[in-house]
Every structure is written in C-alpha cells, then in structure tokens.
Structure 1
Amino acid sequence: MSRPGRTAPVRRRTARRGHGGGRQEVPRGVRRWGRSFTRRDVAVLGVLLGTTVLLDVLVVWGPALASVGLSFTSWDGIGGIGDIRWVGGDNYAHLVEDYPAFWPAVRHNLLWVAFLGLLATPFGLLLAVLVDRGVRFSRFYQSVLYLPVVLSLAVVGFMAQLLLGTDQGVVNTLRGNRNDPVDWLGDSRVNLWMMMLAASWRHTGYVMILYLAGLKAVDPALKEAAALDGANERQTFLRVTFPTLRPVNVIVGVITVIEALRAFDIVYAVNKGRNGLELLSVLITDNIVGEASRIGFGSAIAVVLLGVSLVFVVTFLVQELRGAREK
C-alpha cells in the first residue's frame, strides 16, 4: 500500500489480450506491426524475401532481359561493350529466312510438348489413380516409378545409348540381327521418337507423384455422395475427382511445357542434337557457346524460345485465375 499523500507510480502495460481471453506478454521496447508481426519479424522477412528477389532478378530476369537486348545486336562475345553493333531485326529475319535448322527445331520442340502432354502426362495420371486405389505393394510401385525422376536427362541419354546402340545395344542384341541392326539413334526417322520416349520415362514418374498428392487431398465424402447418386467409378472420376484436381492440372501443365521446351542434355548426350534431334536449346548452345560465337544471333533464338514458353505458361495461368474467379 502506498503512503498517504503520494501517488503510486504508473506502470506501463506489457501485456496484450490473446485470442483465448488470456494475456500475451509483449517484451518492452518491441514495436508491433499489425497484430502478428514485430519489427524483428518484418526485418527478417525483408532480408529473406529481398535476397530471394535479388537472386531471381540477377540469375533469371537479368539474363533474360539482356538476351532480349542482345538479340538486336551483332557481337562475337570477345570484344568489349564498344564492339557491340546494333543490327535491329536482322537476326530474326536471318533466323526465319536463311537458317535451315530453325524450323525443324521449332517443329521438334512442339512435337516434344505434344508427346509429353498427350501421352506421358495422362499415363502418369493413370498410374497415380491405380496407386491411389491402394493396390498391393503400392509403396513399392510408387518408389520404382518415381526412381527415374532422380536421374538427370543426360544420364537418361547415356542409358538410351546402352539400350538402343547399333553395335552392342540391348535392343538390337535381343533382336538377334547383327548384320542389319536398326539405327535407333542415328536414323532421323526414329531417333526423335526414341528420345521422347526416354524423356517420358522420367517425366511420367514426376507427374504421378504430383497427381497422387492431389488425389490424397480429395474429400472422400464427395466420392461417397457420387456413389449414392448411382455414379460408377469412371463417372465419379470424370465428374467429381478430376474437376477437384484443377490446381494440380495447372501445375502439371506448366511443368510439362517447361520440361519439353528446355530439353537439351538428353539429345546432346546422344549426338549433340543433330541429324534429326535439333531443338531450340541446342541451336542456342551451338551459336553462343560453340565455335560460331554469335551472341546476338543465339540470343534471338533464346528470345523465341522464351516467347513460346510464355505463351503456354500465361495461357495456363489465365485459365487457372479464370476458374478460381468463377468459384
């Protein structure tokens, strides 16, 4: 009790009322931003997000914008900035009209997108549905089917050489026709299909895991309600399960396009991306890193590849935003 005639010292509040009616201690000298973030939290988030954004700008968007600028120039990459010569749209005109490997590479890239999107991705969805049903040894199947994902496409290319090689390839050895073996990797009529098949072996496992995660998140009550309404398994999947996988479909679609358009190492490991295996990524490497050293011309090819990628990615994202808005 304080003495008469003296005022008790005023204490600064150091507690805040929590959600449950209790009191939450707030350290003295700590300023709160809103209801949940302190000044220290904001500083930590700023450093983490700032570092991530800075690295993204330096590693991704910086080179992308530099490629766009260099695509309108002529530069061999050896001289300094003063040796860069502005040529306008000459690189693009030469690319479209006078570069024989360009249109076959565009056709091969689009065929790669179609093959992964229309064959490998639905097959990965089918495997996910089968594993999700809880078949016997499903964990084993899941691990085996996902195992190729940990391999790089370069390793997959070397494995394709062991299987499809002309001299000592496993496939030709099993066929038993050593005098007239099939040139699976050298024949331009079949080598692209073999490479897409090898890439699909790796891509299917990745798609399966993504769809399997989405199937695990589907509310079982929806399936039970469809069964009570008389729907069979196929109708339940098409009308109930698959529509709920819309976010996963967008992610799988974007990943499929990116995997198809950035395919490089698997064809480069086989025959350096030539003789029927031309891709835009290979042309970029041949012109920028190879003996040609045409930085501006190679940058023009990179911009074309970037534009094709953005068309697919933006289309997928717009469809997802439109679907979310309709909900």
Structure 2
Amino acid sequence: MSGGTIGRGTETPARRRGHLRQLTKRDVVTLAVMAGIPTLIQLCLVWLPTLFSIGLSFVRWNGLAFGDMKPAGLDNFRFIFTDYTPFWPAVTHNILWLLFLGVIGTPLGLLLAVLLDSRIRGSRIYQSIFFTPVMLSLALIGIIWQLFYSRDNGLLNFLLGTSGTPSAIDWLGDSNVNIWAAMVAATWRHAGYVMILYLAGLKGVDPTLREAAAIDGANGPQTFFRVVFPAMKPTNIIIVVITIIESLRAFDIVYVINKGTNGLELLSALVIQNLVGEGQVIGVGSALAVVLLVISLVPIVFYLVRTFRSQENE
C-alpha cells in the first residue's frame, strides 16, 4: 500500500512537468486584450493611413468633398518626377543629410562611445550630457538652435563678433547656409543616439579578443579597427539603418525654421506642404508620401533579410 503510494507520488511531478496547462477563458481574454489593443492601435494609426495614402496617390482630390475625387492613374507620380520643381532639390537635400550624418554624426557618436568606454572619470555624467538631446524632440532642438543661429542676437554671431552688424550671417535665412546649420543641429541629437548604441555594442565585445590582440602586439587603434569594430557587425548594421531612416524622416527642424522652404526642402516637408494648409493637393502629397515610404522600406528590408539570414545560419 505504502509502496503504491510512493510510486504514485514519484510519478506525479514528472507528469506535471510534461503537462501543459490548458488556457482558461480568463487567460484567453487577457491574451486577446494584450495582443488585440496594440494591434488595433497599429492598424488604425499606421497601416490604415498608409493604405489610404497609397490609394489617394492615384486620385485628384482637394481634400474637401469625396464627390470631387477623380481617378488620376500615375499622373501624380509623373508630375512630381517631371514638373514639381521642389522635388529634386528635396531629394538632393535628403542625400546630403544622409551623407552628413554618415560622415560626421555617426563617427562622432562612435568616437564618444570609445572615449566613454575607456572608463574615464565621470563617464556616467558625460553619458547623460551627450544623451540629453536624444530625449528631446527634433522640433524642440530646432527651437534651441535658433537661439544659436539668430542673426541679431544669436550666440554664434556674437562669438564671431558680427552680432547686430550688417555683416552678420543669416544662418537660417540664407539658402546657401541654412541646410548646413540644420544638419549640424540634427547631428547634435544623432551623435548621442549613436553613442548609446555603440556603448552597448562595446560592452558586448568579448574581452578575450582584445587580450589576444594585445598578445599579438597590436596597439590601441589596430585592436579597435581590426578586432573590436568588426566584432560589432550587428550593431554596425543597425546604426547604418538608423542613419538612413533618420535622414529620411528629418522634418521637425526644417519645419520649425521655415516650414521646409528657401533651401530647406526635404521630402518629408514637401509631403506636409501638400497635405496641410492652403492650396493643398492631396494626390500629390500622397504620391510624395508613397515615394518616401518606398525609399524607407529599402534599408528596413535589408536589415530584416540580414537578421533572418543570421538566425538561420545559427
């Protein structure tokens, strides 16, 4: 009797370990709410507007009465590629924005990460200082940098000794200069973001790699560029994708300065100019949004393909 009881007692935990508990109605409702609400929000705020914009890119509509909506085929796309004057300057500015972030902003963030990873005194304080702009919106950053760039009372002209004089540089009003001023302001934020990502990547590098490089006689720069930097390949891919997306979504700064006109034309600003305000052309604005969407999908698809391939190889 006791032996049978002991036998049953020893089998029960094993059975419990291999048993999957059936979901109750409460579990099903909880999972449905937790998965359904975010999905519904994503559907309403992202996917439905995206599909709606794609549909509107093939019509002529003033945005007032649905009865005025007329099919346009590919006319909106032909217009923006051939006859819409600001389009190609905006493409040029977006490419310039990408190159500036890639050549100046991203290496600057990497440099900050390397310096802070060397365990200098007060590194946590420096991290907080450099990361602060990331927590601010680009619109607020644009307002802050207007204090630096103001022609009459700006800090930059004051340091140059030209504040309040006819020789003062109009950093935001001069179409030959304002794009560079806006990119510097954007880099201030971008460098802090890249710094945090690279700091996380540096913490994940196996210390034995550096030790092996030191044993082989490699100095600091050789160890970093030949051993550490290649070991951060996943982080490098993420940062390349983020840099491309940041250059495409740049909007807030130029819109705060002059609504994306007079030398600050960007694709994202052109979309808003055609969708909002007087003289709105819904079809053209939607076509511009579709073009921007297609361009944005390229780095995203590239990143996803690389990620899935690396998982399959593992």
TM-score (structure 1 length as normaliser)? 0.86
Q: Distance in 2 between matches of 1:43 and 1:247?
A: 38
Segments of 5+ residues of structure 1 without an aligned counterpart are 2-7
* Counterpart residue number, 1:299: 286
In structure 2, the residue matched to 1:157 is 142
Pairwise CA distance, 1:302: 0.3
Q: How does 1:70-85 map to 2 (within 5 A)?
A: 70-80=56-66, 82-85=67-70
Cα 1:89/1:226, change in 2 over 3 Å: same
TM-score (ref. length: structure 2): 0.89
1:112 aligns with 2:97: yes
Q: Which residue of 2 aligns with 1:69?
A: 55
Give the Cα separation in 2 of the matches to 1:161 and 1:142.
25
Matched with 1:56 is: 42
Identity across the alignment (%): 54
After superposing the two structures, state which structure 1 stretch, 106-115 or 223-232, moved more.
223-232
C-alpha RMSD over aligned residues: 2.8
**Contact 1:14-1:25 within 8 A present in 2 as well:** no
Counterpart AA for 1:238 = F
Q: Structure 1 CA distance, aligned partners of 2:21 and 2:127?
A: 47
1: CA distance between counterparts of 2:155 and 2:120?
A: 32
Alignment of 1:182-261 (within 5 A): 182-261=169-248
Q: C-alpha distance in 1, partners of 2:217/2:313? A: 28
Larger CA Rg, structure 1 vs 2: 1
Summarize deviations over 1:139-179 as a string: whole Å, max 9, x none: 11111111111111111111221111111111112222223
Relative distance call for 1:15 and 1:323 in structure 2 (3 A) is closer
In structure 2, C-alpha distance between the alignment counterparts of 1:49 and 1:203, rounded to whole Å: 32
* Match of residue 264 from structure 1: 251
For the Cα contact (< 8 Å) 1:131–1:142, is it kept in 2? yes
Contact kept, 8 Å, 1:96 with 1:102, in 2: the verdict is yes
- Number of matched pairs: 308
Q: CA deviation at 1:278?
A: 0.5
Residue 14 to residue 165, structure 1, CA distance change in 2 (3 Å): farther
Verify the 8 A CA contact 1:253 1:316 in the aligned structure 2.
no
Deviation at 1:254, TM superposition (A): 2.2
SS in 1 for 2:210: helix
Return closer, same or farther for 1:54/1:284 CA change in 2, 3 Å cut-off.
same
* Matched position secondary structure for 1:215: helix
Give 3-state SS (helix, strand or coil) of 1:77's partner. coil
Match of 1:98 in 2: 83
